[in-house]
Structure 1
Amino acid sequence: MTEILEHHTLFIGGRWVEPAGPDTIDVVSPVTEQVVGRVPHATPADVDRAVAAARGAFDHGPWPRMALAERVEIVSRVKDALAARHRELAELISLQNGSPTLFAVRGQALSAVGVFTSALAAAERFQEEDERQGTGGPVLVRREPVGVVAAVTPWNVPQLTIAGKLAPALLAGCTVILKPSPETPLDANWLAQVCADAGLPDGVLSVLPAGRETSAYLVAHSGIDKVAFTGSVGAGKAIMAAAARNLTSVSLELGGKSAAIVLDDADLSLAVPAIVGGTCAANSGQACIALTRVLVPASRYDEVAGALTGAFAALKVGDPADRTTVVGPMVTKAQQQRNLDYIRIGQEEGAKVLTGGGVPEGQGTGWYVEPTLFGDVTNDMRIAREEIFGPVVCLIRYETEEEAVELANDSAYGLSGAVFGADTEHATDIARRIRTGTITVNGFRLDLAAPFGGYKNSGIGREFGPEGLAAYFEYKSVNLPAPARS
């Protein structure tokens, strides 16, 4: 049995301190179903301590008053440590959420490094203030840090989502209280020590592993200036309602039900691997940006269905530590059951299972789901409208490109997507018509230097790149005296 990674203290205000309460969180491996880690469960009293430390550091401490170049130097040390120790970080994340090794390295640890790199590049081009001519005279426009940030992050790509909030917030001069998911608190504590070792001043960062009650207390706290959240639509709405009572700023990166549009002239040798990479191979389908609706012209439906069925059936499901594994387990038994329930619902709705549809043979331990491809899906079915968050994909026919655009946009979500076609210019024109925050032509990509976020129920605000950095500033206009008239 793997040695249990025990943490007995909480990282509050830059120091490891005794928790206020006795409760703990058990971290359970989705592979072995055994406890692999244990951390203190933060309480509202711990939140109060963290907010007080963050408020003091922001209102009176050196961090927001440092020159940007000084903050860049410290954040660069954090990024460098992540890069140097990325394999260690990937193994820790995989231990908690079952992410396959190759994805854990590239999509988890190195993606976090990429976000820090992108944020640092944006900071190099950042102007703290600029002077412009107003209607009545010169105006000095300043950008000042928003304040104390509550960053609430999920279990599926924990370090990527942490980096998308922590890197720009720190560079802006904010102080941060990080509330990681109870499924993946170990890497958050690991990061806390990395930040301390990099020289982050006291009070600037706290890490509070906890469940919903403590999280709700944190986001509703009057001492918080901004909440940055990644997670479900339901939780996002609850956070927005709680933050509204204090008029706290929010940014929300929520769910998706993204469409991949295969055009009549698409090259399937390019489209099929990209669709596989954007579905089952994307963290075992546990990704908000997954291409879970594949829209196919009726004239090529059988061809596409056959190609994707073969590709899905060939994917190796199993131990994430095996470098040939593409699809690992679901993060929890509840998540596995959620997928199996939707597979049953799809069949009851009249969709046809082309491959998969259950628990892989021989996987008696671990929360696995077979890569599942549904055919004969219509866009009004629950499996086509609701986020399943697993390796379950729907094939939907269309007759005309106009119908394909309508189907893609006929969703409560708008986070990601793809268009595949031999005529790149035409495919790009189709992409422009899809109401989604990110879309790729002839591929599947999340670009960490470009703004990321969603339309509709997929969220509010953007992360990554210059836009992600800008989200952690307030704007101040200083009206300067008009020049004296001669």
Structure 2
Amino acid sequence: MTEGAVSSHDRLYIGGDWAAPAGDDRIEVVSPVTEEVIATVPAGSRMDIDRAVAAAHAALISNPWASTTLEDRIALLERLRDLLVKHSDELAQVITEEMGCPISQSRAIQVVNPVRILEGYIEAARQYPFRSVRRSEHGQALVLREPVGVVAGVVPWNVPLSLTMQKLVPALLTGCTIVLKPSPETPLDAYVVARLLEEAGCPPGVVNIVPADRDVSEYLISHPGVAKVTFTGSSAAGRRIAELCGQDLRRVTLELGGKSAAVVLPDADLDLTVEALRLGSFRNNGQICTLKTRLVVPAGLQDEFIDRLGGMLDTMVIGDPRDTSTQIGPLVSERQRTQVEGYIEAGLAEGGRLVRGGGRPDIDRGWFVEPTVFADVDPDATIAQREIFGPVVAVIPYAHEEEAIAIANNSTYGLNGAVFTTDLERGLGVARRMETGTVELNGSPAGFQAPMGGVKYSGVGREFGREGLDPFVELKSIGVPPAIADSLA
């Protein structure tokens, strides 16, 4: 894609075909760098959703997908994996163009993690108890884990390919079919995925992809033909989706926002800590829900920590995300930049000490915000409580360990967190007391076999590993005579 070029897509991927949309509405994809339209795609309508759900339902019960074995499903996904690897640079460039992630991070994260997610789920599926026998003195049962049905997967714009894989792969491995709804900001990578699924030999209707705006998305989520919804996005949107699903007792998994705390203990290696925060707090231009945006630091180390953090930020080039030297690019949209700047204003108004950034870099075009650091932030301040989703962090000083833990837990969110210390046993003790779904000790990732999800306003349910397959299956118990129980195990 070259600057100023417009790449139009005229079809939707429904029922294994490139189908003409029912309406004429279009979604414009706007470059966060040039602020110009770089592509258009059809805006799916309710009629398109009806067709997609019907195709998914038909595939679930009548075409070869209904009788596939686990190995058949794994084979399809392994072919998809190979194609994702083969087309990784194309996908990286598409994601950078549509949402502004620096190309170096798109290549290293945005297209690498989806493959890791896919492979992790395959590994989990090979060990998953799709059938087992349970015995007791009162009877014995064949326990089956069967596909829950048609899944609606709603994908946000910040890491679109990774989150597409988080929805699509467990659905397919468990025998479900899916209607994917990519974000209006980033539908282009989903078109590449559809093309690769075709090439991989995905049966018709197993995967359907329909970009759509909010009202049509709600129609999908509440569609009577949908058995389960899996959503990643803001907590506000998650509450609305939970409300809609609750009306029909529809299953739902929600991976929502975060305001994650990094607790820096007094004995921490500050060089290691600050380097871990390069990506831990600022990757993808600050637009990741698991980023550590509350930096909880001993009061006596705050100034030294800020100096080192500033030195690290000095090495992060701000600019065109298509340049391989860039580490901080633009925000995804003008609306997102306006929101982030509003939080910076709130930080200043509430007495936060601005020690770095706070404005726009000297770049002619694009929705850029400087990496911004506030110090001496009150734990209850807006910038310490609200998810900003931009390159803005709040440094919060503490006097003792108990206070640090209290600050970390002083949040309506609980998605991720971190502890930095040279005393690993002490660090584990602090991690276990943090009210959050995942904690990283000295920057160590949990990997894709560990369950990932949040507590409080950060979500419902888990993704990855065995726990990530559980929401896509329905349990069935069949009482069986003792004589055949052994043969069924």
* TM superposition score normalised by structure 1: 0.97
* Correspondence list, 1:57-206, <5 A: 57-206=59-208
Q: What is the distance in 1 between the residues matched to 2:413 and 2:173?
A: 31
Given that residues 274 and 444 in structure 1 are in contact (C-alpha distance below 8 angstroms), is that contact kept between their aligned partners in structure 2? no
Q: Does 1:53 align with 2:55?
A: yes
Structure 1 unmatched ranges of 5 or more = none
Choose 106-115 or 380-389, whichever is displaced more.
106-115
Given that residues 315 and 371 in structure 1 are in contact (C-alpha distance below 8 angstroms), is that contact kept between their aligned partners in structure 2? no
Give 1:64 deviation, angstroms. 3.2
Q: Does 1:345 align with 2:351?
A: no
Change (3 A) 1:4 1:135: farther
Structure 2 unmatched ranges of 5 or more = 485-489
Given that residues 416 and 436 in structure 2 are in contact (C-alpha distance below 8 angstroms), is that contact kept between their aligned partners in structure 1? yes
**Counterpart residue identity of residue 351, structure 2:** G
**Counterpart residue identity of residue 94, structure 2:** L
Give the aligned partner of residue 458 of structure 2. Answer: 458
Report the 3-state secondary structure (helix = DSSP H, G, I; strand = E; otherwise coil) of the residue aligned with 1:19: coil
Q: Does 1:258 align with 2:260?
A: yes
**Counterpart residue identity of residue 212, structure 2:** A
* Correspondence list, 1:362-381, <5 A: 363-381=363-381
Give 1:135 deviation, angstroms. 4.2
Give 1:312 deviation, angstroms. 2.3
Give 1:462 deviation, angstroms. 0.8
**Counterpart residue identity of residue 270, structure 2:** L
**Counterpart residue identity of residue 367, structure 1:** W
Change (3 A) 1:439 1:471: same
Report the 3-state secondary structure (helix = DSSP H, G, I; strand = E; otherwise coil) of the residue aligned with 2:292: coil
Give the aligned partner of residue 415 of structure 2. Answer: 415
Given that residues 449 and 464 in structure 2 are in contact (C-alpha distance below 8 angstroms), is that contact kept between their aligned partners in structure 1? yes
Change (3 A) 1:21 1:135: farther
Report the 3-state secondary structure (helix = DSSP H, G, I; strand = E; otherwise coil) of the residue aligned with 1:308: helix
Give 1:466 deviation, angstroms. 1.9
Give 1:445 deviation, angstroms. 2.9
Give 1:57 deviation, angstroms. 1.0
Report the 3-state secondary structure (helix = DSSP H, G, I; strand = E; otherwise coil) of the residue aligned with 1:133: strand
Given that residues 228 and 250 in structure 1 are in contact (C-alpha distance below 8 angstroms), is that contact kept between their aligned partners in structure 2? yes
Given that residues 64 and 172 in structure 1 are in contact (C-alpha distance below 8 angstroms), is that contact kept between their aligned partners in structure 2? no
Give the aligned partner of residue 336 of structure 1. Answer: 337
**Counterpart residue identity of residue 378, structure 2:** T
Kindly provide the CA deviation profile for residues 249-292 of structure 1, in whole angstroms up to 9, marking residues without a partner as x: 00000000000000010000100111222111x11100000100
Give the aligned partner of residue 322 of structure 2. Answer: 321
Given that residues 271 and 308 in structure 2 are in contact (C-alpha distance below 8 angstroms), is that contact kept between their aligned partners in structure 1? no
Give the aligned partner of residue 354 of structure 1. Answer: 355
Given that residues 278 and 444 in structure 1 are in contact (C-alpha distance below 8 angstroms), is that contact kept between their aligned partners in structure 2? no
Q: What is the distance in 1 between the residues matched to 2:251 and 2:136?
A: 27
Given that residues 297 and 398 in structure 1 are in contact (C-alpha distance below 8 angstroms), is that contact kept between their aligned partners in structure 2? yes
Q: Does 1:398 align with 2:364?
A: no
* Correspondence list, 1:284-295, <5 A: 284-295=285-296
Report the 3-state secondary structure (helix = DSSP H, G, I; strand = E; otherwise coil) of the residue aligned with 2:318: coil
Q: What is the distance in 1 between the residues matched to 2:81 and 2:5?
A: 28
Kindly provide the CA deviation profile for residues 175-207 of structure 1, in whole angstroms up to 9, marking residues without a partner as x: 000000000001111101111111111111110
Given that residues 412 and 456 in structure 2 are in contact (C-alpha distance below 8 angstroms), is that contact kept between their aligned partners in structure 1? yes
Given that residues 375 and 394 in structure 2 are in contact (C-alpha distance below 8 angstroms), is that contact kept between their aligned partners in structure 1? yes
Given that residues 96 and 103 in structure 2 are in contact (C-alpha distance below 8 angstroms), is that contact kept between their aligned partners in structure 1? yes
Kindly provide the CA deviation profile for residues 224-257 of structure 1, in whole angstroms up to 9, marking residues without a partner as x: 0000000011111111111112211000000000
Give 1:137 deviation, angstroms. 1.6
Report the 3-state secondary structure (helix = DSSP H, G, I; strand = E; otherwise coil) of the residue aligned with 1:326: strand
Report the 3-state secondary structure (helix = DSSP H, G, I; strand = E; otherwise coil) of the residue aligned with 1:241: helix
**Counterpart residue identity of residue 359, structure 1:** R
Kindly provide the CA deviation profile for residues 339-397 of structure 1, in whole angstroms up to 9, marking residues without a partner as x: 11111110000001111111002x12000000000001011100000000000000001
Percentage of identical aligned residues: 46
Give the aligned partner of residue 487 of structure 2. Answer: none
Give the aligned partner of residue 427 of structure 1. Answer: 427
Give 1:441 deviation, angstroms. 0.5
Give 1:61 deviation, angstroms. 2.3
* Correspondence list, 1:1-16, <5 A: 1-16=3-18
Q: What is the distance in 1 between the residues matched to 2:388 and 2:451?
A: 25
**Counterpart residue identity of residue 419, structure 2:** V
* TM superposition score normalised by structure 2: 0.97
Choose 319-328 or 57-66, whichever is displaced more.
57-66
Q: What is the distance in 2 between the residues matched to 1:364 and 1:266?
A: 40
Report the 3-state secondary structure (helix = DSSP H, G, I; strand = E; otherwise coil) of the residue aligned with 1:118: helix
**Counterpart residue identity of residue 389, structure 2:** F
Given that residues 275 and 444 in structure 1 are in contact (C-alpha distance below 8 angstroms), is that contact kept between their aligned partners in structure 2? no
Kindly provide the CA deviation profile for residues 152-184 of structure 1, in whole angstroms up to 9, marking residues without a partner as x: 000000011110110111111100000000000
Kindly provide the CA deviation profile for residues 402-452 of structure 1, in whole angstroms up to 9, marking residues without a partner as x: 111111011000001110001111111111111111111011536222211
**Counterpart residue identity of residue 462, structure 1:** R
Give the aligned partner of residue 389 of structure 2. Answer: 389
Give the aligned partner of residue 247 of structure 1. Answer: 249
Given that residues 312 and 355 in structure 1 are in contact (C-alpha distance below 8 angstroms), is that contact kept between their aligned partners in structure 2? no
Change (3 A) 1:364 1:446: farther
Choose 256-265 or 309-318, whichever is displaced more.
309-318
Q: What is the distance in 2 between the residues matched to 1:54 and 1:72?
A: 19
Give 1:337 deviation, angstroms. 1.0
Give 1:483 deviation, angstroms. 5.8
Change (3 A) 1:313 1:356: farther
Q: What is the distance in 2 between the residues matched to 1:364 and 1:469?
A: 47
RMSD: 1.2
Report the 3-state secondary structure (helix = DSSP H, G, I; strand = E; otherwise coil) of the residue aligned with 1:141: strand
Q: Runs of 4+ in structure 1 displaced over 6 angstroms?
A: none
Give the aligned partner of residue 439 of structure 1. Answer: 439
Q: What is the distance in 2 between the residues matched to 1:379 and 1:214?
A: 39
**Counterpart residue identity of residue 309, structure 2:** L
Give the aligned partner of residue 298 of structure 1. Answer: 299
Q: What is the distance in 2 between the residues matched to 1:132 and 1:380?
A: 50
**Counterpart residue identity of residue 275, structure 1:** L
Q: Does 1:476 align with 2:476?
A: yes
**Counterpart residue identity of residue 360, structure 1:** P
Give 1:134 deviation, angstroms. 2.7
**Counterpart residue identity of residue 96, structure 2:** S
Residues paired across the two proteins, number: 482
Report the 3-state secondary structure (helix = DSSP H, G, I; strand = E; otherwise coil) of the residue aligned with 2:183: coil
**Counterpart residue identity of residue 66, structure 1:** T
Report the 3-state secondary structure (helix = DSSP H, G, I; strand = E; otherwise coil) of the residue aligned with 2:395: strand
Give 1:123 deviation, angstroms. 1.7
Q: What is the distance in 2 between the residues matched to 1:277 and 1:340?
A: 21
**Counterpart residue identity of residue 177, structure 2:** T
Report the 3-state secondary structure (helix = DSSP H, G, I; strand = E; otherwise coil) of the residue aligned with 1:37: strand
Given that residues 312 and 373 in structure 1 are in contact (C-alpha distance below 8 angstroms), is that contact kept between their aligned partners in structure 2? no
* Correspondence list, 1:266-277, <5 A: 266-277=268-279
